[in-house]
Amino acid sequence: MKRKWVMSGTAVMLMLSVVLGCAKGAGTDKPNEQTSKPASNSAAVDNKDNKKPFEGVTLKAALVGGGSYEKLYESIPKFEQETGAKVQITYKGNFFDLDKKLKIDFASKSDDYDVISNHSSFYSQYVDSLEPLNNLFSADDMKDFTPMILNGGKRDNNLYMIPRLADISVYFYRTDLYNDESNKTKFKQDYGYDLAPPTTLDQFKDQAIFFTKNGKGINGTQFAGKEEALTGRFYELVNAYGGDFFDKDKKVILNQEAGIKAATMLQDLYKAGAMPKGMVNFLWDEVAKNFGNGNVAVYSEWPGWYTWMDDPASTKVAGKFDVVRAPAGPSGVHPGWSGAHGFSVTKSSKNKPAAAALIKFLTSADNMYADSKLGNMPTRQSVWDKVLSDAKASGDARKINFYNVLNTALKEDFRTPPLIKEWIPLSNILYPYLQKIILGSTTPKQGLDDAAKDIEKMMKQSGN
Amino acid sequence: MKAEASLADRQYVLKESVFDSLRASKWLFAVVFVAPALIFLTLVVVIPMLYSFYLSFTNFNLVLKINKEFVGLDNYVALLSDSTFLLSLLRTIVFMTLAVNLELLLGLLVAQLLAKPMKGEGFLRTALMVPMMMPPILIGFQFKWFFNDQVGLVNNLIYAVTGQTTQIPWLIDAVLGFISILTAEIWMGTPFIAIILLAGMLSLPKEPFEAADIDGATRFQKFYYITRPLLAPYMLIALAIRSLDISKAYDLVKIMTGGGPAQRTELIWTYVTRLSMVDSKFALGCAMSFVSVAISFVFTVYIYKQLVAARR
């Protein structure tokens, strides 16, 4: 009898170990790509006297992929060679998907990566799970970074994100349409002033409606119409109309006069057919492609799209567009919803100095200069100066204008959204109301009042 | 040669003795073989489910700094006053009802056509399976393009036929958006019902039909009085499977409209995902999931009872 029990027990244990072994194997995160290559052909690897600083350290990273990021990641083997550390990118996705993953991983304490991609709009949500970088980065490390952009990654005097690139929108407009003589004459007749790239939001609205009526099937303008993309655009318009989302006491004021005027402008443009009917389903890719296909006259866009837009193999508008600073609102403020992409170290990281070294490498002047060639706006002053002097040396008038406009926008209009952890929850409450307003399902006042009520409730629940 | 045979015999005897020992206790034998599955299910299904059930009674949020406090039925009560939830629930029920019934009608029609021997029936039956081979995400992208207001096939077709240049906002308008998603769902689901009904039709006995022919019954009478009742169990099985499938609809809606704009095409599971993962209201999302599962459960029990009744 005893033998039977022993044998049965052994069989159960065997099966258990197989099942648990399978489960463990299934749950193991496999690096999908960019697995590090050992530093080959390096005599230093085997030389104990000349040991590299992070020999034997493996850094895991959850990062944004695609676009100019892929070029940056191609430089990682150089970091591995120099430091001896290995880098495994265990997750790649766009910012919205990465944000969802990070929230879940941090909440369940299952984050097992050292470095993450971060954004000034997102990082406030997870500061509790991020390592303050004050002790990992010296004043010397940070002196080259533009202070205004660096501050976008600070909370309570703690720095949580090192910016890789800055983002501020400028208005792209079609030079062929604006320089067309018949358009100029007709516009002057209809509106009483010369057709030129808009300097005020009123002019922008006039021109958007004008081109819709006279542009042979094109839409005057467009905005990204959902998620934080819409909330951010609305935020900068509210600023331009002289308002804000919160007052000094953190009371929601987006439903006041400025908010209503901004929402009314969006509703009027949609109602007049000056924006595509499907714009409420547009995100960044869709608006860029729509302009690239020649369907839009003037709109707000991120500078990172400039290079792609100017490539004749990619778009129909290559060489036929230019940029202008975002037109000012009645308050004199220019829309300037801005942000910065960057990198952070997680609190759970077991290799924080190595993680900081990787971030220093990714945001080095060399890498940033290479990024700028792809249209990204550098966050280091030295690189920015180099980019401007390169543009001047090229003698290309459009290029010079592009960088000058960016420089002005960056210096004068850079404004991050409120640096609160509730920004994305706020956006998720607000944007469906904005969609209702744009589509005409509700009035600007009613829609914003309802949104403000829900946002107040969420803020209270959050302990504000 | 002899040594090899002797070794094989010893191994055989050893295996026999292990199994004999296990068979000696039937209970133990059963436990040993069921245990891995039970342990696995407990780890990946039962425990997470119980934990999420517990979470539905708390105020757990993924982002906001709130302690996980027990709030009783607050989340369930909040759902009752959440107009978006109630609308999503109603929309899901209407969506399911329309989709299942239209799929059944179309499936019946297709099955009737394919039940008759004809030239190329093998090709037609294979072609019928194509939508079933495609993942819902792909179908979502396909129909998203069909119904795109600017470059979509449908608007271009309307333009080609009528000369009407107005862009019809298929995926923007509440009713048109619903119809667009419904069309995609029906295209995806009809073949499944058709295949089940076709299998049912081919297995029906011939005698009742021959008797009906002798009695001079019309085609409609034969369908109504013979085919329909004999096919009922197949129909109910197909209905039960498709109803449960559609009540879980997510992929298609997510790809085609994302539940928007302005939550106009939100179905229950897109709303659950939005609440839990995007808005970070995890506890509320859990509560909503359990309400949805409870409704599906009641519905399944009803269909099952109908199935049992049809087989009597």
* Å between B96 CA and nearest CA of chain A: 24
- How far is A240 from A236, CA to CA, in rounded Å? 6
- How far is A445 from A439, CA to CA, in rounded Å? 14
Is the CB of residue A19 less than 8 Å from the CB of residue B40?
Answer: yes
What SS3 class is residue A171?
strand
The pLDDT, as a whole number, for residue B8 is: 60
- φ and ψ at A158, to 5 degrees? -105, 135
A35 touches chain B (CB under 8 A): no
Please, where are the H alpha helices in A272-319? 284-292, 306-309
What are the b/e assignments for A320-333, b being 16+ CB within 10 Å?
bbbbbbbbbbeeeb
A25 touches chain B (CB under 8 A): no
Q: Which domains does chain A have, with CATH numbers?
A: 29-160+339-394 (3.40.190.10), 170-337+415-461 (3.40.190.10)
Q: Which residues contact B223 (CB under 8 A, 6 or more apart)?
A: none
What SS3 class is residue B134?
coil
Residue A23: pLDDT band by 50, 70, 90 thresholds?
A: very low
Which member of B32, B66, B279 has the closest CB to residue A428? B279
Residues in chain B closer than 8 A to A7 (CB atoms): 18, 21-22
Give the up-direction half-sphere exposure of residue B194: CA atoms within 13 A in the CB hemisphere: 26
Residue A251 has pLDDT above 80, yes or no: yes
Q: In what order do the strands lie in the sheet with A298-301?
A: A298-301, A170-174, A321-324
- φ and ψ at A219, to 5 degrees? -95, 140
**Most A-contacting residue of B47, B69, B87, B280 (CB-CB within 10 A), to test interface:** B280
Place of tokens 């490539």: A311
The pLDDT, as a whole number, for residue A37 is: 34
The pLDDT, as a whole number, for residue A21 is: 41
Tokens of B280: 């970070």
Residue closest to A384 by CA, chosen among A395, A396, A371, A398:
A371
The pLDDT, as a whole number, for residue B247 is: 86
* CA of residue B51 relative to chain centroid, distance: 25
Q: Which residues pair with A119 in a beta bridge?
A: A341
Higher pLDDT, A107 or A273: A273
pLDDT (mean) for A165-194 = 95
A23 touches chain B (CB under 8 A): yes
Residues in chain B closer than 8 A to A8 (CB atoms): 21-22, 25, 28, 32
- Mean residue pLDDT of chain A comes to 88
| Degrees to nearest 5, angle at CA A245 with A244 and A249 | 95
Q: Which domains does chain B have, with CATH numbers?
A: 2-55 (no CATH), 75-311 (1.10.3720.10)
Give the up-direction half-sphere exposure of residue A221: CA atoms within 13 A in the CB hemisphere: 29
Q: Which residues contact A395 (CB under 8 A, 6 or more apart)?
A: none
Nearest CA in chain A to B262: A432
pLDDT (mean) for A18-24 = 41
Q: Number of CB pairs < 8 Å for A and B?
A: 116
- How far is B39 from B44, CA to CA, in rounded Å? 9
Is the CB of residue A417 less than 8 Å from the CB of residue A236?
Answer: no
Is the CB of residue A379 less than 8 Å from the CB of residue A114?
Answer: no
Radius of gyration over every alpha carbon of chain B, rounded to an integer in angstroms: 27
- A4:B40 CB<8 A: no
Which member of B64, B172, B274 has the closest CB to residue A462? B64
Per-residue pLDDT of A277-330, as tens digits, reads 889 989 888 899 999 999 999 999 998 889 889 999 999 999 999 999 999 999
Tokens of A448: 């914003």
- A436:B262 CB<8 A: yes
Q: Please report, in tens digits, the pLDDT of each residue of chain B (312 residues total).
A: 455 556 566 665 556 666 666 666 777 888 888 999 999 999 999 999 999 999 999 988 877 656 678 999 999 999 988 888 999 999 999 999 999 999 999 999 999 888 888 888 888 888 888 888 899 999 999 999 999 887 889 988 998 888 877 778 899 999 999 999 999 999 999 999 999 999 999 999 989 999 999 999 998 899 899 998 999 989 988 988 898 889 888 999 999 998 878 889 999 999 999 888 878 888 999 999 999 889 888 888 888 888 788 766
Residue A363: pLDDT band by 50, 70, 90 thresholds?
A: very high
Tokens of B33: 């073989």
| DSSP codes of every residue in A327-343 | PB-TTSPPP-BEEEEEE
Do strands A154-155 and A321-324 pair parallel, antiparallel, or not at all (unpaired)?
unpaired
B175 touches chain A (CB under 8 A): no
DSSP-derived secondary structure letter, A275: S
Q: What is the longest distance spanned by two Cα atoms in chain A?
A: 105
Residues in chain A closer than 8 A to B62 (CB atoms): 103-104, 107
The pLDDT, as a whole number, for residue B297 is: 86
Is the CB of residue B76 less than 8 Å from the CB of residue B287?
Answer: yes
- How far is A111 from B48, CA to CA, in rounded Å? 19
Tokens of B7: 């070794």
Per-residue pLDDT of A188-215, as tens digits, reads 999 999 999 999 999 999 999 999 998 7
> What percent of chain A shows pLDDT beyond 70?
89
**Most B-contacting residue of A8, A96, A105 (CB-CB within 10 A), to test interface:** A8
Nearest CA in chain A to B254: A281
Residues in chain A closer than 8 A to B263 (CB atoms): 432
End-to-end Cα, chain A, rounded Å: 67
Please, where are the H alpha helices in B147-227? 153-162, 174-202, 207-214, 219-222
The pLDDT, as a whole number, for residue B126 is: 87
Higher pLDDT, A140 or A462: A140
Residues in chain A closer than 8 A to B18 (CB atoms): 7, 11
- State yes or no: cis peptide before B261, omega within 30 of 0: yes
Q: Which residues contact A165 (CB under 8 A, 6 or more apart)?
A: A68, A304, A340, A341, A368, A371, A376, A377, A378, A379
Nearest CA in chain A to B263: A432
* Å between A252 CA and nearest CA of chain B: 18
The pLDDT, as a whole number, for residue A35 is: 34
Residue closest to A439 by CA, chosen among B171, B107, B114:
B171
- How far is A83 from A67, CA to CA, in rounded Å? 26
Residue A255 has pLDDT above 50, yes or no: yes
Q: What share of chain A is helix, strand, coil (3-state, %, to 5)?
A: 50, 15, 35
B30 touches chain A (CB under 8 A): no
Q: Which residues pair with A277 in a beta bridge?
A: none
Least confident of A26-30, A415-419, B166-170: A26-30
- A103:B64 CB<8 A: no
Is the CB of residue A410 less than 8 Å from the CB of residue A166?
Answer: yes
The pLDDT, as a whole number, for residue A152 is: 86
Per-residue pLDDT of A78-134, as tens digits, reads 999 999 999 999 999 888 889 889 988 998 888 999 999 999 989 988 899 999 999
